[in-house]
Chains A and B, each alone.
Chain A
Amino acid sequence: MLDAIQQLGRATLDFFERLGRGHLFLMQVLVSVPATLLRPRLVLRQMHSVGVLTLLIIVVSGLFVGMVMGLQGYNTLVDFGAEDSLGVLVALSLVRELGPVVTALLFAGRAGSALSAEIGLMKATEQLSGMEMMAVDPVRRVIAPRFLSAFLSMPLLAAIFSAIGVYGGWFIGVSLLGVDDGAFWSQMQDKVDLHGDVYNGVIKSVVFGFVVGWIALFEGYDAVPTAEGVSRATTQTVVHSALAVLGLDFVLTALMFGD
């Protein structure tokens, strides 16, 4: 019994210690961001590996999610004779929720895990220590550009996901199931609000990019520098990012659309 309490106490202390390390790490990264902005080539290079290389999975997933939305939405709306509102249904679902959330989950799986593995391996092979001994701050040189690129890539990827998704819904609804083309687009234009819907979706994706980038980079930076440690960091990135994204999505949705 005493052992169990001791273990619980130790686990709690470890959790808060790690949480503290994570926040100190974030502070270090944020302080380094202005200096990183002076070297845009570093950020652009990372945006290629973090953002551009994630495009394929985002485009394909966006297309299929949009197509499924189109099919499910049509089957429901047609019972009420409201199939002309399919465009609104697809667009609102994607812009408000599915775009930011699914993109963030895919982003964590594709780019977040890659970031954790890369940083963890750089630590295991003493590359980060080597930089420190060359009087180069690895947080400024390695971590901050990757953090910025994750932060900037996420909203762009979410926008692409939503746009492709809308076309997926249009393809199923208009091209295959016979929904009126003009109604599809005009109702969407009428009901989707730039401020209330699009901007809120963008805010969500920016927050998710921030959180996924932070978690992925911290897990890699804090990894035990062994093969097992890097593997664990990669897994934790995906699990923690997914939980954080879903939890934050609820909070943000409640704040944005809760009234």
Chain B
Amino acid sequence: MTEPVVQIRDLRFARGNRLIFDGVNLDIHAGCVTAIMGPSGTGKTTLLKLIGGQLRPLSGSIRVNGEEVPSLGRHDLYRMRKQLGMLFQSGALLTDINVFENVAYPIREHTRLPEALVRDLVLMKLEAVGLRGAAGLMPSELSGGMARRVALARAIALDPMMVLYDEPFTGQDPISMGVLVKLIRELNDALYMTSVVVSHDVAETSAIADYAYLLSNGKVVDHGEPAALRESESRWSQQFLKALPDGPVAFHYPAAPFYDDLMQGG
């Protein structure tokens, strides 16, 4: 396997008194699609924000391309982010400008290319996600799936070395989901990128991932190639990957014994 582009060691992060990560270790390798899966609320999105330097950990190391992200100054952080693309769960398109301008936005902000070249680049990116014909539409006129594809075109506008996908399949109809699954894999391979997909959609994510990490209770509970994970002996992995309603993640929220609760009412 290639050198890790992202290397996380002993990561600890808390929100208030709640410890979100407690000693997370993981590697993301160049050219691979790496999935980070886990139930809702395990901090998957938080992990992406830590990689992108939007949050700072309590302790531990997060290295992106050999640079220690938490210790980067503002200028260096912005320089590093120019090499990253991020697809937000909501798309995060700027609502006051149209699709074309949204995709052109990072190009205009970071380059001084002539307008004709900007136009060609934007149309190429939109063509790649199948939405060249929607260039003139406003974000409010797009369906959820289309908005996410526009956001994807924007995320790859500057040809980043790595794209971070935050729950790309959530709330998508089967066709949109299929399109996104195909796009993530094909763009990763065609543009020689590295992709990190945070998701709890097991089937779709496993279908395109080269490697997967399963997160729960602030730790990596299992990791490996998706096929190997399906055969894992870990009860937690089996429950998550096979969507079993009860197991190590209990069906019931912790509570006093049911009998005691009923008797309290008299």
Contact = CB atoms under 8 A, between A and B. Distances in A.
A70 to B, nearest CB: 42
A126 interface: yes
A129 B92 contact: yes
Interface string B80-116: 0110101011101111000000000110011000000
Contacts of B88: 126, 129-130, 133
A137 B78 contact: yes
Contacts, number: 45
A132 interface: yes
Interface string A119-132: 00000011101101
Interface string A121-156: 000011101101111110001000000000000000
Contacts of B49: 129
B109 A134 contact: yes
Contacts of B154: 134
A149 to B, nearest CB: 15
Contacts of B78: 135, 137
A133 B95 contact: no
A135 B82 contact: yes
Contacts of A141: 109
B105 A134 contact: yes
Given A133-B52, A133-B54, A134-B109, A125 B92 contact: yes
Nearest to B52: A133
B182 interface: no
Nearest to A130: B92
A189 to B, nearest CB: 46
A127 B94 contact: yes
A146 to B, nearest CB: 12
Contact of B90 (A125, A132, A135, A137): A125
A72 B88 CA distance: 59
B92 A127 contact: yes
Given A126-B88, A129-B88, A134 B95 contact: no
Given A125-B90, A126-B88, A126-B90, A132 B81 contact: yes
B92 A126 contact: yes
A125 B94 CA distance: 9
Residue among A126, A135, A136, A137 having the largest count of chain B Cβ atoms under 10 Å: A135
Interface in A99-115: none
Contacts of A135: 78-79, 81-82, 106, 109-110
B119 to A, nearest CB: 19
Given A135-B79, A135-B81, A135-B110, A129 B54 contact: yes
A136 B90 contact: no
A134 B54 contact: no
Nearest to B79: A135
Contacts of B109: 134-136, 141
A127 B110 CA distance: 18
Contact of B106 (A125, A127, A129, A134): A134
Contacts of B90: 125-126
Contacts of B92: 125-127, 129-130
Nearest to A125: B90
Contacts of B79: 135
A133 B94 contact: no
A71 B88 CA distance: 59
Nearest to A45: B96
Contacts of B94: 127, 130
Interface in A177-230: none
Contacts of A137: 78
A129 B94 CA distance: 11
Given A125-B95, A129-B88, A130-B92, A136 B106 contact: yes
A142 to B, nearest CB: 9
Residue among A125, A133, A135, A141 having the largest count of chain B Cβ atoms under 10 Å: A133
B95 to A, nearest CB: 7
Nearest to A128: B92
A43 to B, nearest CB: 15
Contacts of B82: 135
Contacts of B81: 132-135
B99 to A, nearest CB: 15
A144 to B, nearest CB: 14
Nearest to A118: B96
A89 B84 CA distance: 63
Interface of A: 125-127, 129-130, 132-137, 141
Nearest first, the 4 closest Cβ-Cβ pairs linking A and B are A130-B92, A135-B81, A126-B92, A135-B78
Given A125-B90, A129-B49, A136-B109, 14 more contacts: A125-B92, A125-B95, A126-B90, A126-B92, A129-B88, A130-B93, A132-B54, A132-B81, A133-B52, A133-B54, A133-B84, A133-B88, A134-B105, A134-B109
